[in-house]
Chain A
Amino acid sequence: MGLFKFLKEKISGKSNAQKDKYVAGLDKSRRNFSSKLKILAARYQKVDDDYFDELEQILIEADVGVNLALEIVDATKKESRLNGISNPSDINELLVDKMFVSYAQQGDDIQNEIVFSEEGPTVLLVVGVNGVGKTTTIAKLAKRYIDQGKKVLLVAGDTFRAGATEQLTIWASRLNCEIVVGKEFADPSSVAYDGMKKGKEIDADLIIVDTAGRLQNKVNLMAELSKMKRVIQKEIADAPHETFLIIDATTGQNGVIQAKAFKECTDVSGVVITKMDGTSKGGIILAIRDELGIPVRFIGLGEKMDDLEEFDLDQYLYGLCLGGDENNG
């Protein structure tokens, strides 16, 4: 079939540094995913229905979701019958191909980097449920754009969780960038408003607004986000220019519900997947794209400040399915 070859070729054009990070970051995920595929292929001489059932299982175990897993496996099955393919490892290649297609179908290539407005500060609102890594991701994003020569302002909009403001303040001082903080339990909208004013005053290029973690079924808290947005717009009319939803890679099918709910109240323009350096396969990436068409923009591959990478599907699939093999020979 030569699809892996295709993926390898695509990858070979890309920077080695990024490739290495993906390969290293996804090392643990891969050991689970691709070795499962390989063990499966080794167990079967010829492909039959049981084989496809097991493929489905591997996908579900990667949090791809039942429906999408079925779709991908069905498409693989169909094509294999059409072309008379019955060799297990060829089928596996076909499967990866279908995973690729299922994501790529959902829209054009996306620009991962933040799109800066031509005039005035660009505003990025960061939202998500509790404990996904919003504050850490903000620090990573801030560093990324400071390194690109942008003037970044942080706004500590999480006035609810104990220690949240302190956490962002520590990051601001480590990154040597300005920060706007409110009083404890202050209305987050008022902090956001102060942030916008300050951003205009100091002529910041990028204002990143942190928000408190909220579970998507809490109506009040979701309404609070809409209010923050309105208040931000009082100062900067077309803001927020970007809204990133942060999702933990270990999240299961609830990730889709999260994306849906946050999309409804904040115009999510991109997803950042955190904690991809664990053993999770991040199948939720495919599930979210499949159901909602929201692109993943960045992924977090480690705890260090520069362990945030642009999301690249080729790299992701390569890192997940192949990366290690090459190193082994």
Chain B
Amino acid sequence: MAFESLQDRLTGIVKRLRGQARLTESNMEDMLKEIRVALLEADVNFKVVKEFVGAVKEKALGQQVLNKVSPGQMLVKIVHDELVDLLGADQCDIRFEINKPTIIMMCGLQGSGKTTTSGKLARLFKRKMAKKVLLVAGDVYRPAAIEQLVTIGKQIDVEVLNMGVDISPVEIAKKAVAKAYEEKFDVVIIDTAGRLHIDEILMKELQDIEREVKPTEVLLLVDAMSGQDAVNVANAFNQQLKLTGMVMSKLDGDARGGAALSIKHLTGVPIKYIGVGEKLDDLEVFYPDRMADRILGMGDVVTLVEKVQEEIDEKQAKRSFNKMMDGKFDLNDMLAQMEQINRLGSFGGLLKLIPGMPKISEEDQEKAKVMMNKTKAIINSMTKDERKHPEIIKNSRKIRIAKGCGMNSSDINRLLNQFDQMKKSMKEMSSLYKSGRMPKF
């Protein structure tokens, strides 16, 4: 997760500053140094770090520490505000055209994730906004780049315009746009080959595409792992093309993404989306304030809530809720709930979004996932009757179920105990609910 070490350092700072009446040059000096090193280690651009530390210092100096707030917390708040500032105050969406196709052109260095992100964007527009999307295979240079996009297109059921490799990308883009007008596509996403920002011939090719198709959006892909040079790259792209936004890829790694954040500050090009995994669903809208919170370890509650709301089939939820309240909750409902959680994507990713739970290692997350899969396997090995009436499961049934899922009877026992516990606490909740001491669903 990005910026974890800044989070750790800030926690240390809060502790050390306990009991100080105000922030002064001397008690801040070490902290500012730590912030500086943390940001540099996160690949935040040198110039940005300098400015950032300066700004924090200026704002913090002489700050009277408010009642009930520790000086450390005060400083963290200042750092947070400055971070939000750095990340860009507002969230920026893709601009969609009205009554004509929206044309999105992807560009970036080799290996920054253009093709994968094209697929993710297509899926997002199709699934969440019900747009008719056309993917355009414009990378005629890298071997099998077209096959890659075609395969992705199949996976997400989106049409891919594939004109082979013996045609110039400019021609492909023109044809794609003509086709989009003719066949009434809402969105056209043009994938392009990766290129160095100093490659004059290939940069000119992008300019030609831009001139010919007049894209609504020109998105630059920036790898979250980029180093200090990323700013030069973005500058060069921005000078030669009219960038309208950035997508930060590979943010699910442990890179801190500092370079990409610096780009926003130094070029003014906003980050619009972030890539958070290898699956085609793993693309999120970028929210500067939430990112700042996340960096500081406050947990990203809003994202969590939205994610949950979107995925959980409400009817299903209501049904199991009613069953719960009637004390009729059975193993079928338990299974259904698990599948919903699974659909939310990475379990660990979800846990990380909950405040107060920042310390779950990747390993623990994997364990939790394994446990969940085991439970699913057990329930799937039961008959319908057994799922409805778990109490009928006695020894010989246990042995059969264990065989069916490749585990032993003790695993089955553990699950049944767990289920009993759940049922018990649900009964308690239900009586609370019925007595009106709990808010209505």
- Cβ of A248 within 8 Å of any chain B Cβ, yes or no, is yes
A278 and B229 form a contact (CB under 8 A): yes
- Cβ of B363 within 8 Å of any chain A Cβ, yes or no, is yes
- Cβ of B253 within 8 Å of any chain A Cβ, yes or no, is yes
B113 contacts which of A28, A57, A130 (Cβ < 8 Å)? A130
Q: Which residue of A lies closest to B153 (CB)?
A: A162
B197 and A166 form a contact (CB under 8 A): no
Q: Which residues of B lie under 8 Å from residue A218 when comparing CB positions?
A: 252, 362
Q: Which residues of B lie under 8 Å from residue A280 when comparing CB positions?
A: 227, 229
Say whether, besides A250-B223, A254-B253, A163 and B147 are in contact (CB < 8 Å). yes
A28 and B198 form a contact (CB under 8 A): yes
A163 and B226 form a contact (CB under 8 A): no
Q: Which residues of B lie under 8 Å from residue A220 when comparing CB positions?
A: 366
Q: Which residues of B lie under 8 Å from residue A255 when comparing CB positions?
A: 225, 227
- Cβ of A226 within 8 Å of any chain B Cβ, yes or no, is no
Residues of B in contact, count (CB < 8 Å): 49
B144 and A164 form a contact (CB under 8 A): yes
B109 and A278 form a contact (CB under 8 A): yes
The smallest beta-carbon distance between B395 and chain A, in angstroms, is: 35
B227 and A284 form a contact (CB under 8 A): yes
A215 and B252 form a contact (CB under 8 A): yes
* Total A-B Cβ pairs within 8 A: 144
The smallest beta-carbon distance between A313 and chain B, in angstroms, is: 20
Q: Which residues of B lie under 8 Å from residue A170 when comparing CB positions?
A: 143-144
Contact flags A268-294 to B (C-beta < 8 A → 1, else 0): 000000010111110110000000000
A219 contacts which of B142, B145, B258, B363 (Cβ < 8 Å)? B363
Q: Which residues of B lie under 8 Å from residue A160 when comparing CB positions?
A: 278
A169 to B223, CA, bound (A): 27
A252 and B227 form a contact (CB under 8 A): yes
B144 and A250 form a contact (CB under 8 A): no
A162 contacts which of B152, B252, B255 (Cβ < 8 Å)? B152
A245 to B370, CA, bound (A): 29
Q: Which residue of B lies closest to A65 (CB)?
A: B41
The smallest beta-carbon distance between A248 and chain B, in angstroms, is: 6
Contact flags A123-147 to B (C-beta < 8 A → 1, else 0): 0000001111100000000000000
The smallest beta-carbon distance between A130 and chain B, in angstroms, is: 6
B229 and A281 form a contact (CB under 8 A): yes
The smallest beta-carbon distance between A63 and chain B, in angstroms, is: 4
Contact flags B211-228 to A (C-beta < 8 A → 1, else 0): 000000000000101111
- Cβ of B37 within 8 Å of any chain A Cβ, yes or no, is yes
A252 and B43 form a contact (CB under 8 A): yes
- Cβ of A7 within 8 Å of any chain B Cβ, yes or no, is no
B362 and A250 form a contact (CB under 8 A): no
The smallest beta-carbon distance between B160 and chain A, in angstroms, is: 11
B226 and A250 form a contact (CB under 8 A): yes
Q: Which residues of B lie under 8 Å from residue A298 when comparing CB positions?
A: none
A62 to B45, CA, bound (A): 11
A170 to B112, CA, bound (A): 22
Q: Which residues of B lie under 8 Å from residue A216 when comparing CB positions?
A: 253-254
Q: Which residues of B lie under 8 Å from residue A318 when comparing CB positions?
A: none
B112 and A66 form a contact (CB under 8 A): no
Q: Which residues of B lie under 8 Å from residue A250 when comparing CB positions?
A: 109, 223, 226-227, 229-230, 233
A284 to B366, CA, bound (A): 31
Q: Which residues of B lie under 8 Å from residue A129 when comparing CB positions?
A: 225, 250, 253
A251 and B225 form a contact (CB under 8 A): yes
- Cβ of A314 within 8 Å of any chain B Cβ, yes or no, is no
Q: Which residues of A lie under 8 Å from residue B43 when comparing CB positions?
A: 63, 252-254
Q: Which residue of B lies closest to A134 (CB)?
A: B111
A62 and B148 form a contact (CB under 8 A): no
B362 and A133 form a contact (CB under 8 A): no
The smallest beta-carbon distance between A126 and chain B, in angstroms, is: 14
- Cβ of B125 within 8 Å of any chain A Cβ, yes or no, is no
The smallest beta-carbon distance between A177 and chain B, in angstroms, is: 15
A166 and B258 form a contact (CB under 8 A): no
B110 and A32 form a contact (CB under 8 A): no
A162 and B226 form a contact (CB under 8 A): no
B256 and A254 form a contact (CB under 8 A): yes
The smallest beta-carbon distance between B76 and chain A, in angstroms, is: 22
The smallest beta-carbon distance between A242 and chain B, in angstroms, is: 22
A166 contacts which of B143, B229, B252, B363 (Cβ < 8 Å)? B143
The smallest beta-carbon distance between A116 and chain B, in angstroms, is: 28
Q: Which residue of A lies closest to B255 (CB)?
A: A254
Say whether, besides A278-B197, A279-B232, A251 and B226 are in contact (CB < 8 Å). yes
A253 and B144 form a contact (CB under 8 A): no
* Nearest 6 interchain pairs by C-beta: A163-B148, A131-B111, A252-B227, A252-B43, A167-B144, A162-B151
Known: A130-B250, A132-B111, A167-B143. 17 other contacts (CB 8 A): A57-B46, A60-B228, A66-B41, A160-B278, A162-B151, A163-B146, A163-B151, A167-B148, A217-B254, A220-B366, A251-B227, A252-B226, A252-B230, A252-B258, A253-B41, A254-B43, A255-B225
Offer 14 A-B interface pairs, CB within 8 angstroms, sorted by A: A60-B46, A63-B227, A66-B41, A130-B113, A163-B145, A167-B147, A217-B254, A250-B227, A251-B223, A253-B227, A275-B109, A278-B109, A278-B196, A279-B197
| B interface residues, Cβ below 8 angstroms from A | 37, 40-43, 46, 109-113, 115, 142-152, 155, 196-198, 223, 225-230, 232-233, 249-250, 252-256, 258-259, 278, 362-363, 366
